[in-house]
Amino acid sequence: MAEAELISRFDALLADLDGVVYAGPQAIPGAVESLQRLNGIGVGLGYVTNNASRSPAEVAQHLRELGAPAEDQQVVSSSQAAAELLASMLPAGARVLITGGEALAREIELAGLVPVRSEAEDPVAVVQGFHPDLGWKDLAEAAYVVAAGALWVATNTDMSIPQARGMAPGNGTLVAAVAAATGRRPLVAGKPEAPLFHAAAKRLAADRPLVVGDRLDTDILGGNNAGFATVAVLTGVDTRESILAARTLERPSFLINDLTDLYRPYPAIEHDGDGRYRCGGASAERLGTSLRVSGNPADLDSWRAACAAWWAANPETPTAKAPSLEWLDH
């Protein structure tokens, strides 16, 4: 009897976008085809994104242009979460300074608040989300209002964004500039907070969703915070090495190369009782602050065994902690 595919354990996939489905304007190889297959096996699909520069409808349109299945309501964004958070804390009609694009301003308006663009318009709050056209004047305007004591909400604090040419600065770098100027820190509405993931699961009526992402500090931490199973994919920010070193709260349930691996059986991790963990044909054991790995570094099973051994030896790690690796290629 053939082993079941990994995705068959779940009733929905909650997917990040940048670094999972696409990098810049281009789809990641195999991603679109993998997403298209979900409907045929009865697995729901939702997109959970920290990108506040485009509306959910615009994100869905981009996904459809790439060939991916996407209705507008399948996209849950950090700009929506930020608007909902502000609406819960402010009276209807309150003025909110927009440090971001028109998509963010629209979400603020839909939440019953009034978007403004300058300190002179007497905003009582600032909402900050990424947009590629943001400049110094925009950040300065935000700093003036934040320094005066206004409520400050950031859609997200991703420090980088995967682009076709490499890693580019994300909203977190712009938020950090305002924080450095004012000495304050914002409330954060999007990932890694749980509500985004719960909202996406609710829209799909999913009981057993799987969260897939390329970033430990947003996707995996957020999925874990929501109480969902998580899978780290190696097509974006985090690497085999950074995942192995992950702090406890950011450790994924599964590790795959790309979305096509969702349709392959996931090998069991076996513990032989002597501190050795096996996955497929690979094994790993901890030796003090080192790991001895028997397997090929190019084989993901080697890293899965290494993660199991290292994480079992370090169950409560508040910060990233990397072992030295000794490879025994058999």
Q: What are the residue numbers of the active site?
A: 16, 18
Please tell me the distance from the alpha carbon of residue 209 to that of residue 279, in angstroms, as a whole number.
24
Taking each helix axis as running N to C, give the angle between helix 78-89 and helix 102-110, from 0 to 180 degrees, rounded to the nearest 10: 40
Structure tokens belonging to residue 293: 């790995």
Structure tokens belonging to residue 329: 């290629």
Instruction: Please name the residue ranges forming H helices in the chain.
Output: 31-36, 56-66, 78-89, 102-110, 136-147, 171-182, 195-204, 221-225, 240-244, 300-313
Cβ atoms of residues 141 and 99 within 8 Å = yes
Sign of CA dihedral 74, 75, 80, 84: positive
Query: 77 in helix, strand or coil?
Result: strand
CA separation, residue 238 to residues 162, 172, 226, 250, 252 (Å): 11, 17, 20, 11, 12
Cβ atoms of residues 115 and 98 within 8 Å = yes
